[in-house]
Amino acid sequence: MKILHDTILKDGLALSDSILKVDSFVNHQIDPKLMNLVGKEFVKRFEGKKIDKVLTIEASGIAPAMITALELGVPMVFAKKHKPITMDDFYSTTVYSFTKETNYNLTVSKEFINEGENILLIDDFLSAGNAILGLRDIVNQGGATVVGVGIVIEKGFKEGRENLLKEGFHLESLAIVEKMEKGKITLNKLK
Amino acid sequence: MKILHDTILKDGLALSDSILKVDSFVNHQIDPKLMNLVGKEFVKRFEGKKIDKVLTIEASGIAPAMITALELGVPMVFAKKHKPITMDDFYSTTVYSFTKETNYNLTVSKEFINEGENILLIDDFLSAGNAILGLRDIVNQGGATVVGVGIVIEKGFKEGRENLLKEGFHLESLAIVEKMEKGKITLNKLK
């Protein structure tokens, strides 16, 4: 996606060979015009699929997932990293984050995953793919099916793509970072 | 806002005289069509004001703030409740939550609040108003000004409105809950 590539190269910051800072347009400050186009692009990439719901993870997944769901005319659900005290009937899974070197839980109220639903997963980053596998676990606990995975920025030098493709996922990443060195980002060729 | 009133009365759940569950359309599952209208309504309510940026709090503020910012053509920033390890230069404030009976920190990177900016605050709920006062503190630390406060659902039986009006804020709430008893919600008259 050209505008996303341009923005990553202009405003993204490679802090090391694995940490990409995009907090000026994706995960702290958000560029709503860009996110609007990102959402529309996901709809194009998954055209023809029956999608009943979009599922993402708080907080950075919400903006792109929201626009995707708006365009599709379906509800959006975000998995919580911190279970609210008022939620007592839920699906939950544990995810290991390589970036933060720690486990965290993802929780979704049972009300919002229904048997037989076709669910599109959206997230801002793909690294090892553990967060997506966690969401798939929750979807399956509810008897629903993952019909696709839409990623804003994939770290192409991590094993996420391999891990998801071998599970049979339809994966669409709008930008793939091939390589990073401190201060330099190399993206894949535009699709 | 009529459609918001209708949705609260249809899908909201008064768990007690103070806890309102709206997780089927506001803060866990999101109704994107409703949030799209909510964002557009905020733009109407603050028409004529110069707004450079929209500031909210993760995670439930992101959807309405995102649409508001998209309509205004300005960036949106969400304050973080859990400071990322990569953020080292930031404004921060402590907020007391009566609902959770605990303090939490709000953090915004210094990069994203600039001197002289006019900032619109958006949040999903207004209760005592402490979260909004915390955001105002961060905005002021950066030398910027709060030009308005847009709230999706105000708990009209709490002291938030009084606390914000005495500080001189322009406050717009799209729905005001006048009273709750377990199982029954009474809203204000439509504006």
Task: Quote ipTM for the complex.
Answer: 0.96
CB contact under 8 A, B29 and A112: yes
- Least confident piece of the model among B7-16, B41-50, B64-73, B182-191: B182-191
Contact A36/B at CB under 8 A: yes
d(CA B27, nearest CA chain A) in Å: 8
pLDDT of residue A85: 81
CA distance A66 to A62: 6
Tens-digit pLDDT profile for residues B83-128:
888 888 999 999 999 878 899 999 999 999 999 999 999 999 999 9
pLDDT of residue A122: 98
Q: Is A27 annotated among the ligand-binding residues?
A: yes
Residue B104 to residues A63, B60, B111, B129, B150, Cα–Cα distance (Å): 23, 16, 22, 14, 22
| Residues annotated within a binding site of B for xanthine | 20, 27, 155
Chain A residues whose beta carbon lies within 8 Å of the beta carbon of residue B28: 77-78, 80, 87, 108-109, 112
Q: Which residue from B63, B74, B100 is facing A62, i.e. has the nearest CB?
A: B63
- More confident of the two residues B23 and B101: B23
3-class SS of residue B2: helix
CB contact under 8 A, A111 and B77: no
- Which stretches in chain A have pLDDT values below 50? none
Q: Which CATH number fits domain B2-187: 3.30.300.340, 3.40.50.2020, 2.40.50.140, 1.10.3720.10?
A: 3.40.50.2020
Q: How many CB atoms lie within 10 A of CB B152?
A: 28
CB contact under 8 A, B66 and A66: yes
CB contact under 8 A, A112 and B28: yes
> Which A residues, 117 through 156, put their C-beta within 8 Å of a C-beta on chain B?
none
pLDDT of residue A176: 98
pLDDT of residue B55: 98
Tens-digit pLDDT profile for residues B149-159:
999 999 999 99
- What are the beta bridge partners of residue A173? A151
Q: Is A175 annotated among the ligand-binding residues?
A: no
CB contact under 8 A, B112 and A28: yes
State which residue of chain B sits closest to A81, comparing Cα positions.
B59
Q: Which residue from B21, B59, B85 is facing A78, i.e. has the nearest CB?
A: B59
CA distance A132 to A165: 12
pLDDT of residue A140: 98
Tens-digit pLDDT profile for residues A20-47:
999 999 999 999 999 999 999 999 999 9
Chain B residues whose beta carbon lies within 8 Å of the beta carbon of residue A67: 32, 66
Q: Among positive and negative, which fits the CA dihedral B87, B93, B94, B100?
A: negative
Contact A33/B at CB under 8 A: yes
Q: Measured in whole angstroms, how far is the alpha carbon of residue B163 from the centre of its chain?
A: 15
State which residue of chain B sits closest to A21, comparing Cα positions.
B86
Kindly report each contact of residues B93-99 with a partner whose C-beta sits within 8 Å and lies 24 or more positions away, as own/partner.
B93/B134, B93/B135, B93/B137, B93/B138, B93/B141, B94/B134, B95/B130, B95/B131, B95/B133, B95/B134, B96/B130, B97/B130, B97/B131, B98/B127, B98/B128, B98/B130, B99/B19, B99/B127
- pLDDT for residue B191 is more than 80: no
Chain A residues whose beta carbon lies within 8 Å of the beta carbon of residue B32: 66-67, 69-70, 74-76
CA distance A139 to A130: 14
pLDDT of residue B190: 85
Chain B residues whose beta carbon lies within 8 Å of the beta carbon of residue A59: 58-59, 62, 78, 80
CA distance A67 to B133: 29
Contact B11/A at CB under 8 A: no
pLDDT of residue A134: 98
